[in-house]
Chains A and B, each alone.
Chain A
Amino acid sequence: MPEPVAVVRDVSVAFQGSRSLLDALRLRPAPPIRAVDGVSFSVLPGEVLAIVGESGSGKTTTANLLLGLLPASEGSVALEGRELGRLSRRELARMRRSVQMIFQDPYESLNPRMRVGDIVAEPLRVHRLLRSASEIRARVREALEEAGLTPVDAYLRRLPFELSGGQRQRVAIAAALAMRPRLLVADEPVSMLDVSIRAEVLNLLRALADEHDIAVVMITHDLSTVAAYADRIAVMYLGRIVETGDARTVLTDPQHPYTRALRSVVPIPDPSARRRPVILAGETPDPSRIPSGCRFHPRCPVAFDRCRTVDPPLFDLGGGHEAACLLVGPDAPGTAPADGGAPEAIRES
């Protein structure tokens, strides 16, 4: 078993929320907002982990943790076996080179005035990783090739506006690859792209994991785009991982009601598909007002009494599949008709 590239253990991130004028006058402290609350996961080299969640789920905060842009309030984040919280500034800066980020919007995240070659060389120059211009040039060519932008000479002198969205995202990936990273964090890498060009970017990320043993963490709100590309999926809701496991298992046999609902509303390009979408009412609540008990219970179609008081941990379902729902825990109400009617109903969907 190879060493994981990143290990996140029981991490929480709390921000200071804003307080009302009245509370400020009463000298009441602002309530802390827990954007991420007790999250644990790890990524192996060559593995693609998809973190799936809606806005407010804490998935972007999790990405910032991995990038070392945000300190953990509790718990630890370790990259290549070294805990980020214990590193000196210099060591942290060196560590950051091995984690690179791909942003959502390739139209906005590339400087429109810089040529492709300069964009890819920028991180090398910033970190003074390579001294000589010829070394930089060689590394840039290599990175562009790895990102599939060949022939390289056709791209080096181009400006971003001359490229398609998929090509731009490849340029961003090449800039990341120039640093020879161990971990790529891709925040919604294809959601701004046309469907017809999503495949090229997703296939590239998959290939980087398979061929270069890079660990990839893909952050997305869309279960369907990662379905064929992720090895594992972690579904987040309101700062927690509510279900995680092998991608195939989570998609074909989801156990948490939230995952089921999320799966059921993904449109399927087949007009004859018979489906019963479970459309949850309302929106993800504000993280400053986390419900008691299971944080999903106010929107859960199968919630029962105990859900209001008991906060379920992740229960092991075997084979690395885990779900945080009392219905799959050891004390589950089982098939007793009193409570069990509802869970049956949702299983069908």
Chain B
Amino acid sequence: MTALVEVSAPTPSASARLSWRRLLQRPMGVIGGGMLLLALLAAVAAPFISPYDPYAPARVTVFDIFQPPSGAHLLGTDDSGKDILSSLFYGARISLLVGFAAAAITTVIGGLVGIVAGYRGGRIGIGLMSITDFFLVIPEIALQIVIVAIAGQSLLNIILVIGLLGWASTARLVRSQTLSVRERKFVLRARAIGAGDAHILRRHVVPAVLPLMIANTVLVVSLAILSESTLAFIGLGDPTVISWGGMLNHAFNRSAITAGAWWALIPPGFAIVWVVLGTTLLGTALEDALNPRLKRHHLERERSLLRRGGEAFLRRGSLAPGPAAPVLEVRNLTVEFDSPGGPLRAVDDVSFDLYRGETLGLVGESGCGKTTTILGLLRLLPPGGHVVGGTVRYGDDDLLALEPAEMRSIRWARLSLVFQGAMNALNPVRPVGDQVAEAIRIHEPRAGRREATRRAEQLLERVGIGRARYRDYAHQYSGGMRQRAMIALALACRPDVIMADEPTTALDVMIQAQILELLSELSGEMGMSVVLVTHDLGVVAQTCDRLVVMYGGRVAEQGATAQVFASPQHPYTQRLLGSFPDLAHPERRLEGIAGTPPRLDAMPPGCPFEPRCAFAFDRCREEVPPLYPAGDGQVASCFLLDPRAPSTASTAGAPNA
């Protein structure tokens, strides 16, 4: 599953430095930050910008009370004749002071408790979390009222009460973050180096937890301001200072409503909303920017409409027609991902055929568009991914033009997918057998419960799990068994095509051999076609009839397996074969390919392989090579195969590994 997510994120980084940039890209964060900044400025500059000093003793006459807004008093006066605008500015000081001070207390206590509980675990961790849970369930506001009423209505008491009662949710958040960091491999590595707890906490845990804590603190500020206002509004504020809640309280208690003095009520209310909204927006944006994982998973929802390119028509030509009509005919498939810098092309003009009963290998390094091709043609692209051109002919239908509902019924029933990391794909709380039976019933509602169960049992038997384990859960299966269960699920509806994305990558060699044997037996028995996405050329050599080599989102070469292995035409294919270990020649050292596949946002203008290619010449830097035929249906996109290629290049290139 991780691989699927990877394709969606061209710049996978959790660096805090980049997060600030991400924050600035979020209007929510900029607006929230701006609102908060304005309030802070007002608080700091209150003595200079307030037209009157609300704390100064004044002689009040009846004519000063509840004056409507005027030139002298922009927002009017309150029940004691004070200028509301000035009180508002001074009130900001108290509200923000309480908010930030209480949030600081909360963060320190919650952070410490969370880090200790998460890092230490064990008895101390459990004890601390029990205390945290206790603080989480007590009704905060009620307790605040009681304590402030008893302890006295001083500003310090109010800050302490809000801070000391509010740390529990911070502790929970920090603990879960600490727990996840503690399990990361780099912490394990630090421990293997011999680092002590202090070092690991300082260098690894705290830097990872801190950004989320900051985001949380901002949210806590808004809660604390709200709490202070509530307390002040019900008359439990510090009577010696001016706060927004206190202003509201006075206005209500001293008949501002009967006097019709709306100007005494609305400004402080508005100020509270302003600051709380600002901090919440900023905090949410921070949290969002620091924790991109909060986004929805891409398999949750069906993409409803495709953005189709104009010239997406069948362009037959370079591909030699096979003996029979193919089961699946992919033509010019092009997939793009949205990004802030414009669309990124992950799959570019990919065409291939899949015939009945054949196994087709899709090979290439990671990041070459293999998985995206499969997800694109099944229309399971992650959010932000679109098929922008091409057709996928299956029978009489173009899969890319079908209604989502039609596509759903074809997917899985006719074209099923076995993906990497099978453990994540099985439901952990339902018996595996039930899941297979369910898959059968969803696609064949006419099959009764008993019939579905019977067929699920047969399937488990067939994939080598055995019906005795029908009632077992996924966690009771080994890795190989889970992958078998995934195959059983994929076979549940007797599909025409199985697409297997690295089905054996995480498995031991012996289990890998078992799974591959099973897949090839099944495709023989049921006349199924298989698309095998893999980076392992050994597996391709032994299981695939034909192969498609992908590089930089394009087809680099395709043809019959025996032929491509015997005479690889594309330099990439040659180098890939050279980097593969071969037990038939154990003495041969591996060559490897220097450099990495191009990033989607830095695709070379010409041939994508040009920067790593030893044979590249001028034309390769300027033009994208088309697919040139190389005999017997083998094609390769390399200018060396152009009959008009410069002779120097073609001799230098004499592509024979």
Of B480, B579, B586, B596, most buried by chain A (CB within 10 Å of CB) is B586
Question: Interface size (B, Cβ < 8 Å)?
Answer: 65
Q: Give the residues in chain A near B195, CB-CB below 8 Å.
A: 122, 126
> Which of the candidate stretches B11-19, B95-103, B342-350, B432-440 sits at the interface with the other chain?
B11-19
The residues of A that contact B581 with a CB separation of less than 8 Å are 222, 224-225, 227-228
Residues on B with C-beta less than 8 A from A203 are 589-590, 592
CB-based contact B366/A194 at 8 Å: yes
- Is B536 in contact with A195, judged by CB distance below 8 angstroms? yes
Residues in A263-302 with C-beta less than 8 Å from chain B: 263, 265-273, 275, 277, 279-281, 283
A268 with B186: in contact, given A54-B510, A195-B579, A252-B586 (CB under 8 Å)?
no
Contacts A114-B203, A279-B517, A280-B510 known; A228 to B366 CB distance under 8 Å? no
Q: Is there contact, CB below 8 Å, between A55 and B508?
A: yes
Question: How far, in angstroms, from A108 to B187 measured CA to CA in the complex?
Answer: 9
CA distance A227 to B581 in the complex (A): 8
For residue B650, CB closer than 8 A to chain A, the reply is: no
Instruction: Determine, out of A4-12, A21-29, A31-39, A97-105, the stretch whose residues face the partner at the interface.
Output: A97-105
Q: Which B564-590 residues have a C-beta within 8 angstroms of A?
A: 565-566, 575-577, 579-584, 586-590
Q: Name the A residues within 8 Å of B587 (CB-CB).
A: 227-228, 248
Contact yes or no, B541 A103, CB < 8 A: no
- What is the minimal beta-carbon distance from A90 to any residue of chain B, in angstroms? 12
Interface flag for A14 (CB, 8 Å): no
CB-CB under 8 A from B192, the residues of chain A are 67, 69, 101, 103
Given A109-B186, A272-B562, do A228 and B583 touch, yes or no (CB 8 Å)?
no
Q: Assess the A195–B576 pair: CB atoms within 8 A.
A: yes
Complex contact A265–B509 (CB within 8 A): yes
Interface membership of A137, Cβ < 8 A: no
**Measured between alpha carbons, how far is A125 from B198 in the docked complex, in Å?**
13
**Residue contact A54 to B508, C-beta cutoff 8 Å:** yes
- Let me know if B514 is at the binding interface, CB within 8 A: yes
Interface residue? A262 (CB, 8 A): yes
**A271:B185 contact, CB within 8 angstroms:** no
Interface residues in A214-236 by Cβ distance below 8 A to B read 221-225, 227-229
B542 close to A (CB within 8 Å): yes
Report chain B residues within 8 Å CB of A270: 541, 565, 582, 584
Q: How far is the CA of A172 from the CA of B184 in the complex (A)?
A: 15
A127 to B192, CA, bound (A): 12
What is the bound-complex CA distance between A224 and B508, given in angstroms? Answer: 13
CB-CB nearest in chain A for B504 = A267
Q: Taking A111-B186, A196-B593, A198-B590 as contacts, is the C-beta distance between A268 and B584 under 8 angstroms?
A: yes
* CB <8 Å contact, B199 and A113: no
Closest Cβ–Cβ distance, residue B183 to chain A (whole Å): 10
**Is there a chain B Cβ closer than 8 Å to A15's Cβ?**
no
- Across the interface, B590 reaches (CB within 8 A) one of A125, A202, A251, A271, namely A202
Bitwise, B195-215 to A at CB < 8 A (1) or not (0) is 110010001100110000000
B393 beta carbon closer than 8 Å to chain A: no
Residues of A within 8 A of B577 (CB): 269
Q: Is A110 among interface residues, defined by CB-CB distance under 8 A?
A: yes
| Bound-complex Cα distance A24 to B382 (A) | 49
Say how far A3's CB is from chain B's closest CB, in angstroms.
24
Give 5 A-B pairs besides A195-B580, A199-B591, A268-B538 with Cβ atoms closer than 8 angstroms: A69-B192, A97-B194, A199-B592, A228-B589, A273-B541
5 contacts between A and B (CB under 8 A): A109-B185, A126-B196, A268-B584, A270-B582, A281-B514
Interface residues of B (CB under 8 A from A): 12-16, 184-186, 188-190, 192-196, 199, 203-204, 207-208, 365-366, 478-480, 508-514, 517, 535-542, 561-562, 565-566, 575-577, 579-584, 586-594, 596
- Mark A residues whose CB is within 8 Å of B: 54-55, 67, 69, 93, 96-97, 100-101, 103, 105, 108-114, 122-123, 125-127, 159, 161, 164, 172, 175, 194-200, 202-203, 221-225, 227-229, 247-248, 251-252, 261-263, 265-273, 275, 277, 279-281, 283
